[in-house]
Every structure is written in C-alpha cells, then in structure tokens.
Amino acid sequence: MVDELLMHGMIKKILKNPFVAKLGKIAGSLTERVKTWNLRSLWLQLSLSAILLVMVVICVEAWQTYNELIADFREKLAVGKVHPSEEPPIAIAIAQSLGIFAVSIGLFTSFYSLRKRLSSIRRARITMIVLWFASIGVLVAWLPTDFSQNFRDIQMSRIGEDPSVVAYLGKLFLIGVLILSFPLIARWHYRSSIMDQYVIRNFLLPFIFTLIGFVAIWFIFDLTDNGPDFVAAKAGLGTIMEFYFIQLPQVILFVLPVTLLLSLLYSLSRMSASNELISMLGAGRSMMRVLRPLFVIGLYCSLVCLVFKYHWAPRSEGTKKAMLQSIHDGDFKDQQSNKKKKKTRWAKLGWMYVNPVDRRTWFVGRVPLDFTRKTMGSVAIWQFDENNNLLTSWRGNSATWFFGNRTWKLYRGKTYTYGADGIPTIQSWDSLEIPEWRETPWKVVSASLNPEHMGILGLSTYLRTNADYDRKQLAPYRTNWWYCWAEPFSCLVMVLVSAPLGIVYSRRGVMGGVAASIFIFASMYLLRGTFLAFGQGGQLPAFVAAWATNFIFAAIGAMLLYYRSQNRQPPSIKTIIDGSFFRKLLGRA
C-alpha cells in the first residue's frame, strides 16, 4: 500500500513538470488533428510516399552509375581510346530527377486533403491534381529511362535478330496508358452517380480481399516448396524478394479472372438478397445500366492484364526457372563473396542446332536467358564435308558473337582437326576468333525458346527473324502471339458471364448461379487448353485457336444478360441437352 502511494505521488510530480505538461499538450493537439484527417487521403499519402521512396533509390543508383561511367569515359578519352561522341548520356538520371520532383509536388499537395472539413467536391479536385502529378512524374521517370536503355538494342540487331520497333513502341504506349489510367479512373469515379459508386463499393471490398487471399496462398505454398533451396543456397532477402516480385505479374494474370468471378457472385447475390437490385430496377434503371460500372472494372482489369501479358508475365516463368537453376548451382553463394559479380542466368541447359547449308552442327550447353549478354556456355561445333565426314570440331568453355565485324570468339578450348585416317590433331587456345560465319546467337538458340515464356515483343522478333521457316514450325509462336492479346480479355468475358448469374431473387437461385459459374469457369480452361493445343499443332488458324474461347463464352454471357434483363430464366443445361430449348426457339421463330 505504501509503495502504491509513493508511486502515485511520483507520477503526479512528473506530470506537474512544465516540460512534460508541454509534451502532453502537443500530443493532445496532434491527436485531435489526426481525428480530423480523412483516411482515404491518408492512404493516398502513404502510397505516394512508398512510390517516392522507390523512385529516390532508383534515382540515386542512376546518378552513381552515370558518375562511374563518365569517370571511366574521361580516362579513356584522355588516352584516345574513345571518341567524344561516345560520352555516356545523362538523360536517364535527369529523367529520374524530374519524375521525383513531380511526385513530390503531388505528395505535398495531398497534405491539404487530409482535413475532414473540406467538401467532397474540393477534396475530389485535390485528389485529381495529386494523381495527375504522381502519374506524370512516374511516366517521366519510366518511359525515357526504358527508351534510352533499350531502343538502341531494338533498333540495331546486336545478336542477329530482326527486332520489331513497332512492338517495342506498343509496349511503351501500353505502359503510358496504364499509368495515366489512375487519374482517369478517379475522374470517372468522382463523376459517376451515387448508384454507380455504391455498386463499386460493394464490389471492391470482396474483390480486394479475394485477390490478396489468392496471392497470399500462392506465396505460402511457393515459399514452402522453394524455402529449403533458399536456405541451402544462403540466398539473401533481396534475392528472395526479387524472385517473388518477378513472378507477381504472372500470378495476378492467373488469379484475376477467378477473383472477378467470386467477388461478382458474392456482391451481386448479397445485393439481390437484400432487394437492393430490385429497388434500383424499380427506380427506372435498366439491368445494363446497373451493371455498367462492373463492365468498366472488367475492361480495366483486362487492360492491366494486357500490360502484364505483353512482356513481364511470360518472361516471369522463364526467369523463375533460371533463378531456381542458379540457386541449385550455388551461384548465390559466390555472389556473397563478390556482390558486384553478376551471374548469368541460363534459360536452357543443352541445345542442338544444325546448319544444313554450311554443314555445321552446334551444341550449346548453357543457353543464356538474357540475350544482350551474347555469351553462351559450353559450346561444341562440328564441321562436316559434302559426304558428312567430320573435318574439324571446336570445343570452348564459352562463346561470344561480335555484331560489328560478325565474328565468333571462343574462349578456353581446343580445336580438333581430323585427317584422312580419322585421327585428330589437337590444338589448345585461350581464345579463338572465327570470322564470317552466317550463324548468329539468335539463329543458334532462338528455336530453344519456349513460346509460352515470350511476350509480344519477343514473339514478334522471333516471327520476323524466322519468317523463312515453314508454317508448322511457326504455328506455336503465332498461336501464342495471338494468345497474348486474347488472354487478358478473359477478365471482361468473366464479368459478362458471372454478372447475370449473380443476380438472383431466391436462395435456390444463388446456389444455381454458383454451380453454373464453377462449371463455366472449368469449361473455359478446358476449351482454352484444347484450342491452343490444336493451334500450336497447326490444325487450327492461330487467331481462331487463341480467341475462340473468349468468343464462345462472350456469346454465352450476352445470352444470359439478355434473359436476365428481360426478367426471364435462362435455359438450363437439361433443356439444352435434350433439345427442348432449341425446339422451343425454332417454334417461336
């Protein structure tokens, strides 16, 4: 009891201290000010702060890289090894700095929208200004950097390919559209009616939770599967984060259609059970008008998936396999001792290429994932005569192609020259130059590329470079080129199908819509795989194989929407199978 009284008296003395009392007043005023903040604006500020932090890190790295390059350039220029026109460009670092400046303006402007006393119209205007500044800043930092780093390689054939400039510019265009879509979507949301905003709110909550849930489940399962390999290879946190960040576009592309399906069924069936949809229809709104914001969301999800599918999502699977192979080979253990040493990631181990014109056969032990490095590992080359007799063979630890003089250079290997008796003469060398061979790195290893791991940019380059191949050889690549355009629009098709199935007027109808949606979802994946197999085998035209599934189920969704808008029950599977639906339809006609 005495101890408690002493403690109580000590606390009272501390609280009466002028400095502590002043801190208490400041804390109280801050608490009252925080209570007046708008939580949506606070989330916007946190997002902008995260984006700004990432941009600052990238910008600092860009300036460091430029300073290193310019110092090396000045040393070589002093001894006459380089021409003054080869000075490293400063455009990337300047673009990054301008982007940070624009995003910073948006972040500081967003502080004004934290107060709750602002009217909704004024807060919407401030939010629009913030989003425009942030989007323009990201655009200024991203597009010039990407253009400066890649356009020279796209314009000039450095590994013997015929790159598609149009496909590369299409990538930049889609990235720009996606970045600028954020303020445009916000503008559409603020200008939409109260009913549209209510429908969107009811949909977004289950959509966000379902998407996060699917991604979290995938992450847990994948980490459980690959975690022991990370521990054995002593991979750092940065390597693990890079491994999963690279896969994120492919995962989102895969789970987004089923996420739309489940969230639409949940939100629309709940609104139907509470008679909210009936009230909207009774107020004079048509079914299509009520569902219009959901169609816009489906179209926007298709745009997001198209940007991912254009380049990043197909490459993520190949990059995942290459990183796992590097982990198994122990490359990350070597990187810890020398962090600046960058290991080559291999797309394929073991590839044979035959040049029937020059009678040469190539074996590449390790095919690089990044062709810009132009180095292939464990190369063996055999030269035959007209009678298929072996004349010479070259075996090197690695091989590099120089596009300027179109010369191959082999490193650390041997040359075997065979005489008439078949006994070879062996010559060892550290490096060997072989000029004027018509083989290029792209010709040698491009056929080893999996078309499913190539985006539109890579597939366009492959089809242009290998246009002399026959139709059957190019069928898998043409089919996957069209499929890169078709797969993202499965999000819009899923909205067309699931929206009428989620609108019900009884508990029995809810279960029927769920069962029909599951059946349709499984049928979509089954038909998609079947059509793609026929297209890749050359039995179907590439366009038909890629788009047939979308066209079929878009027609089914349009029919279901028609019946639901007319307040009529759609035909059941039983009536379709026994033919009574078609007999009734023909009799009515």
Give the distance, in angstroms, between the CA of residue 577 and the centroid of all CA atoms in the same chain.
41
Closest CA to 491 of 308, 315, 319, 266: 308
The whole-model pTM stands at 0.79
Give the DSSP letter string of 295-343: HHHHHHHHHHHHHIIIIIHHHHHHHHHHHHHHHHTTHHHHHHH-TTPPP
CA distance 569 to 412: 75
Quote the pLDDT of residue 177: 92
CA distance 390 to 218: 52
CA distance 392 to 383: 5
CA distance 562 to 566: 6
Quote the pLDDT of residue 334: 45
- Report the SS3 class of residue 43: helix
| C-alpha distance from residue 79 to each of 74, 76, 85 (Å) | 9, 5, 15
CA distance 36 to 40: 12
How do the pLDDT tens digits run along the chain, 589 residues long? Answer: 545 545 555 555 555 566 656 666 665 555 555 555 566 677 778 888 888 898 888 888 888 888 888 888 788 777 776 667 667 778 888 888 888 899 888 888 877 766 656 677 777 888 888 889 999 999 988 888 888 777 666 655 556 666 778 888 888 899 999 999 999 998 888 888 888 888 898 899 899 999 999 999 988 888 888 777 777 777 777 778 878 888 888 899 889 998 998 898 888 888 887 888 888 877 878 888 888 999 999 999 999 999 999 888 887 877 777 677 666 665 554 444 444 444 555 556 667 787 777 888 888 877 776 555 557 788 888 888 888 888 889 888 888 877 666 788 888 888 988 877 777 888 888 888 888 787 877 777 776 677 888 888 888 888 887 777 778 888 898 999 999 999 999 999 999 988 888 877 655 455 666 677 778 878 888 899 899 999 988 888 999 999 999 999 998 888 888 887 777 666 666 666 666 655 665 555 4
| C-alpha distance from residue 300 to each of 256, 280, 304, 489, 561 (Å) | 12, 24, 6, 10, 20
CA distance 254 to 161: 31
Quote the pLDDT of residue 336: 44
CA distance 6 to 2: 6
CA distance 422 to 453: 43
CA distance 90 to 455: 30
- Report the SS3 class of residue 538: coil
CA distance 288 to 500: 10
Question: In 79-119, which ranges are continuous DSSP H helix?
Answer: 91-110
Place of tokens 């083989």: 439
